[in-house]
Structure 1
């Protein structure tokens, strides 16, 4: 994971949600406490080997979703000419990675797509990525592709003088 860490995902959307959507469909969801420990690299010695294996499998699913999200983001950024992978990673990119990966993990969600906040966040991320690819949006102050102010060529042009110095002396 280049643009987001497992710890970032433990913060938001959180281990509880991730344990529900990343566990294999035929299994009971991984205990959220175990998922939290797995995401943060904590102690998992109180769980059985089978439970830890299920948590590791869920983590692989999360990592796969993040890898897909990062590939999608890289595709948009490459179109604009960014050197990939980004380093340092702007917070915007971390947020978009989270939103897109979360959308991929919620593949079996139910409800109306037009009111689903996960779908809305995914679509918003794609809109911003398209704006970046089109050159209409910047990643912020540390944007490596944005033109630096010192590189901007400023030229001033003006018409010839209407009055000469001699004509203006009359007004003194």
Structure 2
């Protein structure tokens, strides 16, 4: 499942940037497969973190993950030549994903996911007391 689409990438980052980062065979054409590949890598990275805390696939998809997927896919398109801004947004996305995986950041209440930790249940059975009262008072 994609958290971000090709159209989302164009809307967020513009056709000019995508033409530069994923140039097609002709001038002014975007290599859609390359962008889709970067989106796939972003989804896999997000699922690696989020899947430790939430059952996948997520339905509905939290909007936060769409933003993070866009930033991660954009970073992947830059290969080794990312700008400071692109790198920082990627690092911020990973930091937030780690917070989600560690339980410090919530994606909200998700169906099938416990929202409170499970506590051990204490069962008391008559006749199995560790301490008994003495006839004159006190415990023995």
Q: Structure 1 residue runs of 4+, over 4 Å off?
A: none
TM-score of the superposition, structure 1-length normalised? 0.60
Question: 1:88 and 2:56 equivalent?
Answer: no
CA contact (8 A) 1:2 1:85 kept: no
> In structure 2, which of residues 71, 84, 91 is the aligned counterpart of residue 99 of structure 1?
71
Matched residue SS, 1:101: helix
Question: 1:109 and 2:81 equivalent?
Answer: yes
**Structure 2 gap ranges (5+):** 117-140
Distance 1:22 1:127, change over 3 A: same
1:147 counterpart residue number: 115
Which structure: greater helix fraction? 1
CA contact (8 A) 1:62 1:105 kept: yes
Deviation of 1:146 after TM superposition, in Å, equals 5.9
1:67 counterpart residue number: 40
TM-score of the superposition, structure 2-length normalised? 0.73
**Structure 1 gap ranges (5+):** 36-54, 149-172
Count of residue pairs the alignment pairs up: 116
